[in-house]
C-alpha cells in the first residue's frame, strides 16, 4: 500500500470514528429540531400565520405552478391571511387581558366606603366599626373641636383638614368615626349626605385619583387615613402635599381630609433632628419635612390619660353594656389589668371590658 493510500485510509478511519462517536448526539439534535419545527408549525396553524417553511414551500409550488400553468393557486397560498374567526379569538383574548373600565360607585348605598385603587373602586361598608361618642372619655376638648369643624363642613361652610396626633390608644380613630355618625344623626332630613371614605396608608399615592372621583358628587366626604406616617426614604408625602394644598386643582370643595398619626409632623423625630444637625442651613432643611403637617389647619393632640380618666373609661363601658361588676372589685381588676399591660389608655380599657364581659358571659353587642 502506497503512502497516499495509507493517508487516505487513516483519514477515513478518523472520520468513521468521529461519526460513530457523535452519531447519537447528532440524532438527538435532529430529533429535537424536528419536534421544535412541528411545535412551531402547529402554533402558526392555530394563529393563521404562514411559517417560513410554508412560505418557502409556497415559493417552490409557485415556481412549479409557473411551469405547469397553476399560477392562480400559488398566489392564493402566498397571500394567505388570518381567518375572521382567528381575528375574533385574538380580539377576545386582548379584551380579557385589558383592565376593566372603572365603574361608578353607588354613593347612596352606604354612609361609609373603603377606597381600592385597583380599578378605582369604592366598596360600601354596611356596618362601621365605631364607638358611641358618649363612651369617649378624657378627650372632651379635642372632641368638641373636631365635631364643630365637621358640622361646619357638613353645612357647606369653610372647614380645615384635621390631623389627630399623639399617644396611642387614646381614641383618635374612634373620634373621627364617632364625629361622622354624630353629625349625620343631627342633620335631620339631610342625614346621610356626609360620607366617610377610608384610604389606606399604602394607597396614599392614589389620593389624586380619589379626589377626582369625588369631585362633583352630590355628597360631602370625609377622606380618612388612619396611622399616617412616612419614613426617611418615602417620598409619597410630596404628592399628599400637592393634593391638600398647593396643586393647580386644589382640594375639592366637597372633600375634607382627616388623618391620625402617632407623630406630630408625620415623620420620625430623628429624621428631622438629623436634617437640622447636618444641613448648612438647618431652617431650610427642616422646612421640607414639616411642611406636610402645615397642610392641616386643625391640630388635635392626644396625651396619655390619668388613672382617674382610665377608670372613668372602664366604668362607662361597664354601664353601657350592663356588665354586672362595680365598686372596688371593678377598680381592683381594672388597675391590675392596666399594670400587666404597662399602659393606661382607652384601648386598654376596652380590652379589659372585653375580657371581663367574656368571663361573665355578657354579649357586648346586646346593649
Is the pLDDT at 151 greater than 80? The verdict is yes
The model carries a pTM of 0.67
Is the pLDDT at 209 greater than 50? The verdict is yes
Is the pLDDT at 12 greater than 90? The verdict is no
Q: Output the pLDDT for position 100.
A: 60
How far is 110 from 125, CA to CA, in rounded Å?
6
How far is 241 from 230, CA to CA, in rounded Å?
13
- Assess contact for 256 and 156: CB atoms under 8 A: no
Question: Which tens digit of pLDDT belongs to each residue from 258-286?
Answer: 999 988 777 665 555 555 555 555 555 56
So what's the architecture of 112-302 in CATH? 3-Layer(aba) Sandwich (3.40)
When pLDDT is cut at 50, 70 and 90, the band that residue 346 belongs to is: very high
β-bridge partners, 300? 164
Q: Output the pLDDT for position 58.
A: 47
Average pLDDT, the chain: 78
- Assess contact for 206 and 102: CB atoms under 8 A: no
Could you count the other beta carbons within 10 Å of the beta carbon of residue 339? 10
Q: What is the 3-state secondary structure (H, E, C) of the chain?
A: CCHHHHHHHHHHHHHHHHHHHHHHHHHHHHHHHHHHHHHHHHHHHHHCCCCHHHHHHHHHHHHHHHHHCCHHHHHHHHCCCCCHHHHHHHHHHHHHHCCCCCCCCCCCCCCEEEEECCCCEEEECCCCCCCCHHHCCCCHHHHHHHHHHHHHHHCCCCCCCEEEEECCCCCHHHHHHHHHHHHHHHCHHHCCCEEEEECCHHHHHHHHHHHHHHCCCCCEEEEEECCCCCCCCCCCHHHHHHHHCCCCCCCCCCEEEEEEECCCCCCCHHHHHHHHHHCCCHHHHHHHHHCCHHHCCEEEEECCCCHHHHHHHHHHHHHHCCCCCCHHHHHHHHHHHHHHHCCCCHHHHHHHHHHHHHHHCCCHHHC
Q: Output the pLDDT for position 307.
A: 94
For the ranges 3-17, 71-85, 216-230, 244-258, the lowest mean pLDDT is seen at 3-17
Is the pLDDT at 17 greater than 70? The verdict is no
Task: Output b/e per residue, 30-42; b: 16+ Cβ within 10 A.
Answer: eeeeeeeeeeeee
C-alpha cell of 46? 392555530
Q: Output the pLDDT for position 51.
A: 47
For the ranges 171-175, 233-237, 257-261, 329-333, the lowest mean pLDDT is seen at 233-237
Higher pLDDT, 190 or 129: 129
For the ranges 70-74, 109-113, 246-250, 301-305, the lowest mean pLDDT is seen at 70-74
Q: Output the pLDDT for position 178.
A: 95
In percent, the amount of the chain with pLDDT more than 90 equals 39
Higher pLDDT, 51 or 186: 186
Q: Output the pLDDT for position 244.
A: 79
Q: Output the pLDDT for position 259.
A: 92
When pLDDT is cut at 50, 70 and 90, the band that residue 76 belongs to is: very low
Q: Output the pLDDT for position 226.
A: 93
Enumerate the domain spans of the chain: 3-97, 112-302, 307-366
Exposure on the CB side of residue 364, measured as CA atoms within 13 A = 13
Q: Output the pLDDT for position 220.
A: 94
How far is 132 from 185, CA to CA, in rounded Å?
12
Amino acid at each position: 500500500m502506497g503512502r497516499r493510500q495509507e493517508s487516505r485510509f487513516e483519514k477515513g478511519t478518523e472520520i468513521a470514528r468521529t461519526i460513530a462517536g457523535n452519531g447519537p448526539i447528532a440524532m438527538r439534535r435532529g430529533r429535537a429540531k424536528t419536534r421544535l419545527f412541528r411545535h412551531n408549525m402547529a402554533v402558526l396553524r392555530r394563529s393563521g400565520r404562514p411559517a417560513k417553511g410554508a412560505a418557502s414551500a409556497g415559493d417552490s409550488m409557485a415556481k412549479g405552478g409557473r411551469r405547469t400553468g397553476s399560477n392562480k393557486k400559488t398566489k392564493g397560498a402566498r397571500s394567505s391571511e388570518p381567518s375572521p374567526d382567528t381575528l375574533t379569538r385574538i380580539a377576545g383574548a386582548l379584551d380579557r387581558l385589558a383592565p376593566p373600565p372603572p365603574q361608578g360607585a353607588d354613593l347612596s348605598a352606604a354612609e361609609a366606603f373603603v377606597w381600592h385603587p385597583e380599578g378605582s373602586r369604592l366598596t360600601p361598608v354596611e356596618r362601621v366599626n365605631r364607638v358611641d361618642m358618649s363612651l369617649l372619655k378624657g378627650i372632651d376638648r379635642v372632641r368638641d373641636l373636631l365635631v364643630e369643624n365637621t358640622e361646619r363642613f357638613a353645612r357647606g361652610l369653610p372647614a380645615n383638614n384635621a390631623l389627630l396626633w399623639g399617644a396611642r390608644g387614646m381614641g383618635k380613630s374612634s373620634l373621627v368615626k364617632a364625629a361622622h355618625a354624630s353629625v349625620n344623626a343631627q342633620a335631620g332630613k339631610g342625614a346621610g349626605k356626609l360620607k366617610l371614605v377610608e384610604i389606606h396608608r399604602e394607597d396614599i399615592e392614589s389620593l389624586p385619583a380619589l379626589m377626582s372621583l369625588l369631585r362633583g358628587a352630590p355628597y360631602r366626604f370625609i377622606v380618612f387615613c388612619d396611622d399616617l406616617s412616612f419614613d426617611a426614604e418615602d417620598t409619597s408625602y410630596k404628592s399628599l402635599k400637592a393634593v391638600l394644598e398647593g396643586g393647580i386643582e386644589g382640594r375639592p370643595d366637597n372633600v375634607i381630609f382627616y388623618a391620625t398619626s402617632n407623630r406630630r409632623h408625620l415623620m420620625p423625630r430623628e429624621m428631622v433632628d438629623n436634617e437640622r444637625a447636618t444641613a448648612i442651613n438647618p431652617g431650610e432643611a427642616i422646612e421640607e419635612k414639616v411642611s406636610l403637617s402645615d397642610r392641616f389647619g386643625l391640630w388635635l393632640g392626644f396625651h396619655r390619660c390619668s388613672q382617674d380618666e382610665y377608670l372613668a373609661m372602664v366604668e362607662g363601658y361597664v354601664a353601657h353594656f350592663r356588665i354586672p361588676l362595680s365598686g372596688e372589685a371593678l377598680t381592683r381588676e381594672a388597675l391590675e389589668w392596666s399594670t400587666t399591660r404597662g399602659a393606661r389608655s382607652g384601648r386598654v380599657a376596652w380590652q379589659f371590658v372585653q375580657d371581663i364581659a367574656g368571663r361573665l358571659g355578657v354579649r357586648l353587642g346586646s346593649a
